[in-house]
Structure 1
Amino acid sequence: MTKTKITRTSRQLPMSNLGGPSTLPRFRWQQPTLDKNTPPNRGLTDEENAHGFNWGKDSILPYRVYDDYDRSQEPGEMPLVTLENGRLRVSVAPQYGGRLMELHDLKLGRDLVFCNPVFQPANLAALNAWFSGGIEWNGLIPGHTPFTTAQVFAGSIETDRGPVLRLYEFDRIVEATWQIDLFLPDDDDRLYVHGRIVNNTDAVKLAYWWTNVAAPMSKGMRVLAPADYSIEHVLPNNELARFPFPDPDRFDGSYPDKWRDSTSVFFRKPDAERLFIAGLDADGVGLAQTATSALKGRKFFYFGTGAGGQQWMDYLAKPDEGDYIEIQSGIAPTQNQRFELQPNSEVHWTEVYGALSVDPAKVHDADYHKASRATGPAIDARFPAAELADVDAFLTAVSRQPLTKRLSDGSAWGSRQEKLTGKPLAQGLDFAVPHPTDCWDELATTGRFSEASLKRVPADFAVSPLWVAALEKSRDKQSETWLHALLLGIATLDNGDRDAARALFERSIALKPTWLGRRQRALVTSDPDAADRDYLAAWASGDAPPALAAEIVSLLVKHGRLERLRAFASGLPASALTDERVHLGRAMVAASEGDLDLLERLLDRHFATVREGENLLDELWVALQRGRLQQALKRAPSPAELAERLKQHPVPAHLNFRMRAVDEVK
């Protein structure tokens, strides 16, 4: 028998630079996520409609976006923490939200999760940067976790059954804690994952949780889960629609490679005795998951076989090395829902993962429901319910025990929250971490801003009612400073009151003009000229971050002020010119002025931060081809002539970020 060990390891792979979080607070209208109302969900049950929300409506503050990454793909080394017992090797990356990067079955010689050959962020998450592969822990706000590219707490707990690896953090929007405890028993090839969410307040909270597993995609793979019917998330209308599963009017959607366009399918069998999900290949072998009853949702996602989906998978990895599907499980039936956290309560669940092998004739039975029913006994044999219940009880008790050894520090905000409220966030979780004292530490302890804090513009923000109340109490105690007015203005604007926020920004600037105060005032004015003046004055102050230049460029582009954009860009330092938004602004100026050689040079770049579905790059390509054709013809081309030119010179893959035809499959 080989005992389980937890060790520090690393992996060599090409890595792009991530960059740090932005110091510009981003508001909900600055987010590129879908912002459409969900149509009435006809045919769904009360449970499937409970606590629904609309993607893109919620603020991401106080979190800070990561938008300074690139596509350099330089040789790099990714630090990891690994559990291994001679049967399974499990590696996690605490610096990337605790993402499980590897689940390798040593006997099979097979990666059970998609192990990305590179580290490449892309603009696919609420906080911008996201990367594919492994297992991510998505909570407590909708979408990809705000800790996707942030370091979280990690450590080990020694128990009488062997070591447990813990990952945890404090969510600043829900103001509750989440943790994941990973347990790999000695000489076992099954990984147990225990989740715990703690609400230590007297209020009901709405939260979110989905465990997102990337599994290697192979031709003929089938996804199996108990399902009387399915709920499909249909874009671009943000509609949840109920369908039979498989849908007899279309095709057997349990085979991912039959989906041309990207798809999200939620499996629904409310009366099932046991839920599971498995992605099994043509030979009936693959990854399977089941869990305790708290996880009610199961889903699979695939980018699709179309050009757009294939491009995204290649873009996130390497060409022909990035194909994967996602099999997911969540607390609510669908991902368009939150769930209730009761006051002073805890939510627990345990998942178990491992390789599964089922007779391929049964797996690929033409009748989906027969195939699913045939997989059930294999799940029961591989992951016996009694064993799962036993491990669940064990891990529930362990979840409240403190770490034996800390392996990674997370954010200081959990500690600040405990200081502000005067009580621990969760039994067994230690949030103390060394960090430089800033204005928020002063607010949580003394209630007054020091002279040192009043000399610098903050890089971090807090906007919840609890912190706003602390700011207001401090203002009454200390009298209003420029910093009080600025921070209260940011929270007020995040809450949707532009007029009150404008007044606070005016007071902050009157007390002390700062680049951030001017930027904030520019955001709330309805006068483009006034916004220009404030933005340019903020930039001229000399201490604004390069990201502000990109925001100024975006504003000038939005208002079509290309002459001012040209003048602004011409005076920027090299550090700002490398920003992609500044780069694209210069390309727009080149297109408007007919400088086709410069435009072509500016488009000869692999862009890293362009959002899925964004069309600026291919519009600039069309402008370039129209200009080249006009030069050749010595006149403006006709639509037919331009269409023919674009057939001969189609939009290159590195400029095409659209997911075409995504709304054609109904």
Structure 2
Amino acid sequence: MIVTTIRREVLTLPAAELGPDNPLPPLRLLHEVHRIDDRDRDELPRDIARQAGYEPLRSLLPVRVRDGYGRAREPRELDALVIENERLRATVLPGLGGRVASLFHKPTGRELLYRNPVFQPANFALNGAWYSGGIEWNIGATGHTTLSCSPLHAARVTAPDGGEMLRLWEWERLRDLPFQIDLWLPEDSDFLYVGVRIRNPHERPVPTYWWSNIAVPEERRVLAPAEKAWQFGYERRLQKVPAPSCAAIQQLPYVADYFYDLPDARRRWIAALDEDGHGLVQTSTDLLRGRKLFVWGKGPGGRRWQQWLTEPGAGGYCEIQAGLARTQLEHVPLEAESEVSWLEAYGPLSSPEAADAVEARLEAALPRADVDAAHAAWKPHADTEPGEVLAVGSGWGALEVLRADWKLPGTPFGESTLGEAQEPWLQLLRAGSFPEPRRVRPPGGTLVAPHWRDMLETAPATPLTEYHLGVAQWHGGDRAQAVRSWERALELAPSLWPLLRCLAVADQESGNHERAADRYADAFDDLCHERRDNGASWTAATAALGREAIEALLAVRRTAEARGIWERLHPGTRERGRFRLIEAGLLLAEGQPEAARDLFRAGFEVADLREGAEAIGRLWARLSDEPLPAHYDFRMRPPEA
């Protein structure tokens, strides 16, 4: 008999590099597709309408955008943690959001998940980089978590049955909430148990979001205990429909979400089974009430995305999901100084029959009462202090714990995890002043929560302090005050371009596009005079600012100035697919449509093409009457929508 064990392993996969983060503060949300049109809200059930309008995300701050990755893959080593008993083997990637990359059932020799054979970031997370496959843990706000490609803390902990348990934990920065995920395999169990806890240490309610997304091979029969579902597509309409049949799902032409309308009294579960009735079932305690199916559809755009996220011959996937609310368009209030927890279970199921028969098979394999009992048994162990540290996440939790002196049993955020990113904020906390950098470089990230903003407001008003204060004020909705802070900083700042860029965004938001173009042009000039080398941070800053400046100048038809910025970009930046697309737009604006078409004919790949974005198709329509070439077709909705 094999006792449950946890061991380290290294996975070697064809993988693209993540590259540097975008150093410009995200003063605006990325293109967002998961919103309900206001005209539909009055027709929704009261709780869905209320929670869909509750504290939507205003910005990504303090998180940065991750758009520095490419599409050149080569074998790379990824750290993994394997938890295993005699029945199951789960492979977890602590450095990439704690993703369960594989769940292998030994007696049948079946992989229960869709296991992506490559690591290829794509622009699906709230802050950019995300990858497909396995089981991902989404916390924060509507969409894929900003932690998709970030490290989590990991350690061994004693499980409720005395065996070993793998604990993952981090500080979620969009909502300032600590969370943990405990994974264990009871002896002789065919099910992976997952205990999740989210804590709100604040003295105010905080909007909370959680969805567990499970990728499974497509062409599966997806079953859940519901007769109706809420359908949501990229037309942004949420409408009640019959729960889709398996045949209907497999013929859908475009991307669609189906949120199953589970009756309150029914057990929470969802299953994906192959044509022989074998596959995966996920179930949970009742708190995790939502269940969802995501499909790419059979249209050319959906097929192109499937190819984009993996490699030829890998096969496609769909997702079955479980969440705190009925739909992913909602945030749930977590009361002040409280916590919420639940238990999930993942395992094999074989049933060729319909939903009622599947539920009976599930009840025989893992009774509903046993899931509730496992949750109750786990809860006292959620506070158990971790043993051997297996992976280290960020230092942001340690900074917040130091600031507020919070006690968070079970999830230690030790001072040893503090790093360079936290250093200036630690000085602000301890000394009351924000340090000036010792060398010229792009400014670091800004903390924007009210307590950090208060500290910035009382600190000595140096240019860098005023810059960060303006970003925090902008995030808080005090846009006029933010502009005043940035303008004050301009008078004495040795580095002008970060301030000019922020002011340019403010001009765009207020409709003053000519002044925005002026400021972008001045900002890029200043950056080119200031940058010291071709290191990663300066190259990333030049690319990010250059991209925004070119777009701002083209918007007001200042084509020659846009071309001047293009020519000062690093040669390697100009070769990237995103900038090939920008160049095609620039050529068209210069009256050279044939040269722009030549760029399309030569081929390019926009690595950070956003989910739901249609920029390539719109530009092609201005260049040609021919159909959009298939390898550029990423459309997720009907052309006429």
Q: 1:120 to 1:33 in 2, by over 3 A?
A: same
Q: CA deviation at 1:56?
A: 7.8
Aligned partners of 1:36, 1:25: CA distance in 2, in Å?
27
Which residue matches 1:162? 163
Q: Deviations over 1:95-144 (max 9, x none)?
A: 11111111111222111111001111111221111111001101122210
Match of 2:397 in 1: 414
Residues 538 and 206 of structure 1, relative CA distance in 2, 3 Å threshold: same
Find the aligned partners of 2:53 and 2:95 in 1 and give their Cα distance. Answer: 30
* CA–CA distance in structure 1, aligned partners of residues 560 and 436 of structure 2: 42
C-alpha displacement of 1:562:
2.2
Distance 1:29 1:65 in 2: 10
The one-letter amino acid paired with 1:104 is F
Once residues 529 and 33 of structure 2 are traced to their aligned partners in structure 1, the CA distance between those partners, rounded to angstroms, is 32
Q: Over residues 499-541 of structure 1, what are the superposed CA-to-partner deviations in whole Å (9 max), with x where a residue is unaligned?
A: 2211111111112142212221222232145324432333223
Q: Is the CA contact (8 Å cut-off) linking 1:486 and 1:508 kept in structure 2?
A: yes
Letter of the 2:384 counterpart: Q
Give 2:419's aligned residue. Answer: 435
Q: In structure 2, do the counterparts of structure 1 residues 16 and 380 end up closer, same or farther at CA, with 3 Å as the change threshold?
A: same
Are the counterparts in 2 of residues 101 and 134 from structure 1 also a CA contact under 8 Å? yes
Asked if 2 retains the 8 angstrom alpha-carbon contact of 1:91 and 1:100, the reply is: yes
Question: Is 2:480 the partner of 1:499?
Answer: yes
CA apart distance, 1:554: 2.5
Q: Which residue number in structure 2 is paired with residue 18 of structure 1?
A: 18
Question: How many pairs were matched up?
Answer: 619
Give the counterpart letter for 1:538 in structure 2: D
What's the counterpart of residue 183 of structure 1? 184
C-alpha distance in 2 between matches for 1:205 and 1:405 = 32
Q: State the partner residue of 2:135.
A: 135
Letter in 1 for 2:252: W
What does 1:311-460 correspond to in 2, within 5 Å? 311-358=304-351, 360=352, 362=353, 371-424=354-407, 426-432=408-414, 433-436=417-420, 438-452=423-437, 457-460=442-445
Find the residue that maps to 1:28 and give its secondary structure: coil
**Conserved? CA contact 1:4–1:187, under 8 Å:** no
User: What SS does the aligned partner of 2:307 have?
Assistant: helix
Does the residue aligned with 1:20 lie in a helix, a strand or coil?
coil
Match of 2:238?
A: 240
In the aligned structure 2, how far is the partner of 1:557 from the partner of 1:75? 40
Deviation at 1:179, TM superposition (A): 1.0
TM alignment of 1:451-600, pairs within 5 A:
451-452=436-437, 457-473=442-458, 475=459, 479-514=460-495, 515-525=497-507, 526=512, 527-543=515-531, 544=538, 545-546=541-542, 547-591=544-588, 592-594=590-592, 596=594, 600=598
Secondary structure in 2 aligned to 1:40? helix
Q: In the alignment, which residue of structure 2 is the partner of 1:659?
A: 636
Question: Aligned letter for 1:449?
Answer: F
Distance 2:145 2:581 in 1: 29
Structure index of larger Rg: 1
Distance 1:30 1:296, change over 3 A: closer
The aligned residue for residue 87 of structure 1 is 87
Q: Mind listing any 5+ residue stretches in structure 1 that lack a counterpart?
A: 247-251, 363-370, 627-641
* Shift of residue 383, structure 1, vs aligned partner: 1.1
2:83–2:185: 8 Å Cα contact kept in structure 1? yes
2: CA distance, partners of 1:597 / 1:244: 50
Separation in 2 of the partners of 1:176 and 1:663? Answer: 41
Would the alpha carbon gap of residues 274 and 89 (structure 1) be closer, same or farther in structure 2, given more than 3 Å must change? same
Query: Does the residue aligned with 2:25 lie in a helix, a strand or coil?
Result: coil
1:303-344 superposed Cα distances (whole Å, 9 cap, x missing partner): 111111111111111234241111111111111111121111
In 2: Cα distance, 1:287 partner to 1:48 partner: 29
- TM-score computed with the length of structure 2 as normaliser: 0.91
What residue in structure 2 maps to residue 272 of structure 1?
A: 265
RMSD after superposition: 2.4
State the alpha-carbon separation in 2 of the partners of residues 532 and 353 from structure 1: 51
Q: Is the 8 A contact 1:539 1:549 kept in 2?
A: no
Shift of 1:598: 7.0
Change in 2 beyond 3 A, CA 1:522/1:579: farther
Q: Which amino acid counterpart does residue 328 of structure 1 have in structure 2?
A: Q
Q: 1:296 aligns with which of 276, 289, 296?
A: 289
Indicate the residue corresponding to 2:535 in structure 1.
none
Instruction: Provide Cα deviations, 1:407-430, integer angstroms capped at 9, x if missing partner.
Output: 111111111111221223x22111
Measured in 2, the distance between the counterparts of 1:657 and 1:55 equals 31
Q: Is the 8 A contact 2:273 2:279 kept in 1?
A: yes
Could you tell me which amino acid in structure 2 is paired with residue 460 of structure 1?
A: G
Q: Distance in 1 between matches of 2:285 and 2:30?
A: 39
Is the contact between residue 122 and residue 128 of structure 1 (CA under 8 Å) also seen in structure 2? yes
Q: What's the counterpart of residue 222 of structure 2?
A: 223
Deviations 1:48-67 (A, max 9, x none): 33321399863111111110
Shift of 1:601: 4.2
- Whole-Å separation in 1 of the counterparts to 2:185 and 2:557: 58
* Contact residue 282 and residue 345 of structure 2 kept, 8 A: yes
Distance (Å, rounded) in 2 between the aligned partners of 1:146 and 1:96: 11
Q: Give the conservation status (yes or no) of the 8 Å contact 1:36–1:56.
A: no
1:616 maps to what in 2?
A: 615
Residue identity in the other structure for 1:217: E
